[in-house]
Structure 1
Amino acid sequence: MFKIMMSIMVASILSMALMIMCTTISKKSTMDREKMSPFECGFDPKSSARMPFSIQFFLIAILFLIFDIEIVIILPSMITLKTSTFMTWSTTMTFFIMILIGGLIHEWKNNMLEWA
């Protein structure tokens, strides 16, 4: 237990020291017009390089990420089927899948899946 606490303290102190050192060493850059504008061979840009990001695309990406993580969690559960009883395993998987289906229904009702 002492080794675990000591390693947590060393890791915390080391990370704090690195963060403090990086903030003191790094110089502040001023955000002037030249640094904020995109470079196009010395000419003024024809259109804005900073287009607004679609929040709908972000929500679809988050939804995709959630279902990716679901697959990562469900696949190793097949291995635990050997070590646990079938009733416990099926109850756990049913509960897990019902939570995910509930989240999908919630997103569907809030029209988060509508692209238009």
Structure 2
Amino acid sequence: MIQLINSEKDNLISAKLSDKISKKDVEKIHSLIHNILENHKKVDFYFEMEDFEGYTLKGFWEDIKVDSAHISDYGKMAFVGEKKWQEWVAKATAFFTSSEVKYFDLEEKEKAMLWINQ
């Protein structure tokens, strides 16, 4: 599930991720990406993962399609999590994109918000 978090930064998608991400969740984020790109060159992301289990199969496939279409539109990405595999996902994301990607432990979420808002 994706729960959007209010952000003061115009080109930032900020969200809490929990349970599993569905196709519908990814479609919601995809429409936000398009809205931001109408006025900005890049989209930044802040993802706070707590009790996050990954994706449904359809959600994963939809995310791959969205990322393939917009990978050059992504700016900074902050991943905030509680598990080692989440840190590995952040590192893998950094490998496949030219975006600046950082992982923060859950107790560092204020630090992550400061970094993404710079």
Same fold (TM over 0.5): no
TM class by shorter-chain length? under 0.3
TM-score of the pair, normalised by structure 1: 0.21
Bigger share in helix:
1
